[in-house]
A and B are shown apart, each in its own frame.
Chain A
Amino acid sequence: MSFIKDYIARETLNRRNFLFASAAGLGGVAAGGLFGPGMARAALTDPTIAWGYRNRTNPYWNEIVSGGESFVQSLGLPRDALTHLINEGSSEKSLSDVKALLAKTGGNLALAIDANDAPNCRPVVEAVAEAGAYVATIWNKTDDLHPWDFGDNYVSHMSWSDVKPAEDTARILLDAMGGKGGVVHLGGIASNSPAIQRRQGLENALKDYPDVELLAAEPADWDTQKANQVMSAFLTRFGDEITGVHCANDTIAYGVLEALRAEGIEDMPIVSYDGNPQAVQLVAEKKILATVFTNPYWGGGISAALAYYAATGAFKPSEEPNEHREFYGPTILVTPEDALEFKATYLDSAPDYDWTDYWGPSNGPIRY
């Protein structure tokens, strides 16, 4: 009966091979249909390099874009070869500027962008992919949108998880308060994801400090003057009950420090976030107890580099593992003990980054 067995085995194998072959064939046809126009011009030559962001007034975005300019210079181009798409906090402007630039360049574009808010990321990415251009995004993206769903054109997404670092700074703050008293939180624009994450970090830490009360949390919109006014009003509302201040970023902390100085209060424990040079100096002077550096300079440069090198074909995004396409940026906690050393390494002169080391300083795959 062995010949029957052989026959069945042979037929099974053939059938499997046939299925494999047809699946590959159909898939190939489908992929060809989907990415046909894009595949035909997989590598661009001398694409326009652009950065889309809020504005340069904000020191954080200024650092991001400075990194982008550094990357452009590493190609031997002048600094102003980088095209700036400034959205001033408007998603509509962000999208329409991208479409205008795609039209102008005929899709010969390497774009790094923060789409301003999460829902706006999809139309931006779709417009770029449709034109056969390349895009790397940071910060704002909905959870259901992934680079690997767009072949090579959606190169990568980088974000920063701020919950854990904000929790770390909160613990430093709560310890400095002696584990008791009242803390106030001054947050960013309420709907921004970093603002939400940084507040969450504080709340996580508070679970371990039952004697500390969260007196209030108010948005200060990342703005020094608004923070100054909110902190003054907090002083009226709570007076001496406030024994510590958790700030969502450095620009807020500056306003808080000045509101306290106006009242002659010099020794209030404060922590912040972002690691701006002046904040690091204040950490060294122990006016701020901790801040978190997210290396926006590197983030801005590497996002432009990823989009550019994918566009020119130096690497093929679709051949990279998922953790190279959605990853966290670096976070470094800065405390009074290491502030000066940190400042010397990262801030006094920007380190000479290798912009082809795409994922070196990154911080693992994004988890949802």
Chain B
Amino acid sequence: MTGFPNREVLLRWAPLIVLLILMLFFTALEPRFFSVRNFARIAISAAPALMVAVGVTFIILMGSIDLSMEGAVSVCAVSFAFVFLWLGGSLGGWGWLALPLTLVAGAVLGLVNGLVHVRLRIPSFMASLALGFVGTGLAMLMTGGDRIRIEDPAFRALLTTRWLDFPVMIYVAGLFLLLGWFIQSRTTLGRNLYAVGGGEDLAHGSGLNVARVRIMGFMLAGVFYAVGALMAVARIGIAETATGNGFMFTSITAVVVGGTALWGGTGGVWNTLVGVLIVSVIGNGMVVIGLPGYLQDGILGLLVIIAVVLSTDRRSVSIVK
């Protein structure tokens, strides 16, 4: 803490400052970027990714990693579609039961993930990556490669009905974000996640059942993946194996850009919110300012590196691996 006295404060707010700079940058190049309608569009594209990213935040807080989200989202989306249609295909009837059942499905997937990681002692990186592929394959098996349309107006109201210019799904995402914040800061599980991430030996030595915390963490993440899957289906009205595509990059990037350390112990869901918004603003802004398509992937990668450089505290770690 030498030199700049406010360094710590600055670091805490760095991700938000990066987000504001990006917004100013895109607005300067194309004023239409800065409009309520465009913010609603960014929010729609960010909402499913935010739920998935909040889920993986809990895992990264523990110092583990979860790469199963694409498979998990696909399985949850397809399971939801099957159960929803089987129960009549309307939220007005028994179809609403499909919503909690999907969350249960997500929790079960997370449980399997956690058990494989903890009981079989496979690094979370490998266990979750492998199970992600299993999930994609399972979704493929269930659909046979077909896409399932969900046309129920009540369910699609998540997208089509707006309060104060923003679709209902944005408020639902906000509620789940608050729930995530509550779990993180006001429950024993939340604090245990930080304890495991901050120093597993210490947590273990203090009598914490680390294995149990890990499995609970993966289950919790699974539930949030399921919420993300529901929002992804609400957004495009289609459940398919490809529903999970792209969530891995977006969510992991968002968590890191938001300032949650990959080595665990610091950060949280608010960082993740800012991170998801940074990634979504970059994605939207590049098209809005008319950047040629062939440059967009490259620029996205560069901006992500710059955002990580600006928004994470790397001085406190001696080894980066």
Contacts of A254 in B (CB 8 A): 236-238
Give B129-165 as 1s and 0s: 1 = Cβ < 8 Å from A's Cβ atoms. Answer: 0000000100010001111010000001001100000
Produce 1/0 per residue, B15-28, CB < 8 A to A. Answer: 00000000000000
Which residue of B33, B145, B238 contacts A224 across the interface (Cβ within 8 Å)?
B238
Are B149 and A278 within 8 A (Cβ)?
yes
Q: Which of B35, B235, B241, B286 contacts A57 (CB 8 A)?
A: B241
Q: How far is the CA of A228 from the CA of B48 in the complex (A)?
A: 13
Q: How far is the CA of A236 from the CA of B34 in the complex (A)?
A: 9
Contact B240 A228 (CB under 8 A): no
Is A258's beta carbon under 8 Å from chain B?
Answer: yes
Separation of A62 and B235 alpha carbons in the complex (Å): 24
The listed residue with most B CB atoms (<10 A of its CB), out of A190, A232, A264, is A232
Asked, given contacts A233-B284, A261-B160, whether A278 binds B147 with beta carbons under 8 Å apart, the answer is yes
Expressed in whole angstroms, the minimum distance between the Cβ of A251 and any Cβ of chain B is 8
Q: Which residues of chain B in 153-186 are interfacial with respect to chain A, using CB atoms and an 8 Å cutoff?
A: 156, 159-160, 167
Of chain A, the residue at the smallest CB distance from B45 is A229
Q: Is A223 an interface residue (CB 8 A)?
A: yes
- For the residues of B in contact with A, the DSSP-based class is helix
Instruction: State the CA gap A217–B291 with chains docked (Å).
Output: 11
One of B35, B156, B245 near A236 (C-beta < 8 A): B35
- Contact: B140 with A56, CB < 8 Å? yes
Given A232-B45, A233-B41, the answer on whether A223 and B245 have CB atoms closer than 8 Å is yes
Shortest CB–CB separation between residue A302 and chain B, in angstroms? 20
Chain B residues whose C-beta falls within 8 Å of the C-beta of A47 in the assembled complex: none
Let me know if A262 and B44 touch, CB within 8 A: yes
Task: Find A218's partner among B30, B232, B287 (CB 8 Å cutoff).
Answer: B287
Interface residue total, chain A, C-beta cutoff 8 A: 33
Given the complex of chains A and B, what is the CA–CA distance between A233 and B286 in angstroms?
9
**Binding site secondary structure of chain A:** helix
User: Are B235 and A190 in contact (CB-based, < 8 A)?
Assistant: no
Cα A153 to Cα B44 with chains together (Å):
52
Task: Report whether B293 and A236 are in contact in the complex, using a CB–CB cutoff of 8 Å.
Answer: no
B-contact 0/1 string along A265-288, CB 8 Å cutoff:
000000000000010000000000
Asked if B242 CB lies within 8 Å of chain A CBs, one says: yes
In the complex, A261→B235 CA distance in Å?
A: 10
Q: By the criterion CB–CB under 8 Å, are B41 and A232 in contact? A: yes
**Chain A CB within 8 A of B301 CB:** no
- Which residue, of B41, B159, B240, B290, has the highest number of chain A Cβ atoms within 10 A? B41
Counting chain B CB atoms within 10 Å of each CB, the highest count among A239, A254, A255, A262 belongs to A262
Contact of A59 among B147, B283, B286, B294 (CB under 8 A): B147
B101 CB within 8 Å of chain A: no
Task: Write 21 A-B pairs (CB below 8 A) sorted by A numbering.
Answer: A190-B293, A224-B236, A225-B232, A225-B242, A228-B235, A228-B236, A229-B45, A229-B283, A229-B287, A232-B41, A232-B44, A233-B286, A236-B41, A237-B289, A254-B238, A255-B236, A258-B237, A261-B159, A261-B160, A262-B160, A262-B235
